[in-house]
């Protein structure tokens, strides 16, 4: 369920680093807790999040809205945004169907790969959500 090669946050995001770029999404646990997701909004501060924007680890890069809640997306790594998954605008339900794959949110070129040590492994994350339950 939780890929070994991904790293996880306690706020329920994942990042998958290949080369110098990390793909970011929300975890299966997050989508399950939120319920049916109806909207994804990419915002950094007041601004709409765009490619080229520098983002810091731990800062909000947007929000995911379900029928019962809106939850912020916290960026798991610092770096420059290189791509955003705009297909989610028309098909937010993909976040419920394939949160670890097709429904990735943003791709970020890492500026500080050392930060990855702040994140959880798949095993640690599963223990964490087990404890949270």
Partner 1 sequence: MRYLPKSDSERREMLEACGVESPEDLFAHLPEAVRLKQPLQLPPGISEYEIVDYFRRRGDENANGYASFLGAGVYRHYRPVLVDTVVARGEFLTSYTPYQAEISQGTLTTIFEFQTMICQLTGMDVANASMYDGSTALAEAALMAARLTSKGGLLVARSVHPEYQEVLQTYAKNQGMPITEFDYDPETGAADLDDLERKLNDLTAAVILQSPNFFGVVEDVKRAAAIAHRRGALLAMGFSEAVSLGILEPPEADIVAGELQSFAISPSYGGPYAGIIATREKFARQMPGRLVGETTDTHGNRAFCLTLATREQHIRREKATSNICTNQALIALMATVFMSVYGKQGLRELAEQNLAKAHYLAGKLKPRFSGPFFNEFVVSTAQPDAVNAALLDKKIIGGLPLGRFYPELSDAMLLCATEMSRRAEMDQVAQALAGGGAV
Q: Where on the chain is the footprint of partner 1 (CB under 8 A)?
A: 39, 41, 46-48, 63, 65-70, 72
Q: How far is the CB of 108 from partner 1 (least distance, A)?
A: 20
Q: Cα–Cα distance between 15 and 27 in angstroms, integer?
A: 10
109: buried, middle or exposed (CB in 10 Å: 19+, 13-18, 0-12)? middle
How do 70-74 and 47-48 pair as beta strands? unpaired
Query: Does residue 67 contact residue 38 with C-beta atoms inside 8 Å?
Result: yes
Q: Which is nearer to partner 1, 53 or 57 (CB)?
A: 53
Q: How far is the CB of 95 from partner 1 (least distance, A)?
A: 15
CA distances to 8, 52, 64 from 12, rounded to whole Å, are 7, 24, 12
Q: Which is nearer to partner 1, 71 or 111 (CB)?
A: 71
Q: How far is the CB of 65 from partner 1 (least distance, A)?
A: 6
Q: How far is the CB of 105 from partner 1 (least distance, A)?
A: 18
Q: Which is nearer to partner 1, 63 or 121 (CB)?
A: 63
Rg (CA), the chain: 14
CA distances to 39, 46, 129 from 27, rounded to whole Å, are 16, 25, 11
Q: Which is nearer to partner 1, 20 or 72 (CB)?
A: 72
Q: How far is the CB of 66 from partner 1 (least distance, A)?
A: 7
Q: Which is nearer to partner 1, 70 or 91 (CB)?
A: 70
């Amino acid at each position: 369920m939780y890929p070994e090669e991904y790293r996880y946050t306690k706020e329920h995001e994942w990042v998958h680093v290949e080369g110098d770029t990390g793909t970011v999404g929300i975890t299966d646990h997050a989508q399950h807790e939120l319920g049916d997701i109806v909207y994804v909004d990419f915002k950094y501060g007041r601004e709409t999040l765009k490619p080229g924007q520098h983002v810091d680890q731990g800062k909000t890069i947007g929000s995911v809205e379900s029928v019962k809640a809106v939850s912020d997306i916290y960026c798991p790594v610092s770096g420059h945004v290189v791509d955003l998954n705009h297909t989610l605008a028309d098909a937010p339900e993909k976040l419920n169907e394939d949160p670890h794959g097709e429904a990735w949110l943003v791709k970020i070129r890492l500026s500080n790969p050392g930060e990855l040590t702040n994140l959880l492994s798949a095993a640690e994350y599963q223990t964490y959500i087990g404890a949270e339950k």
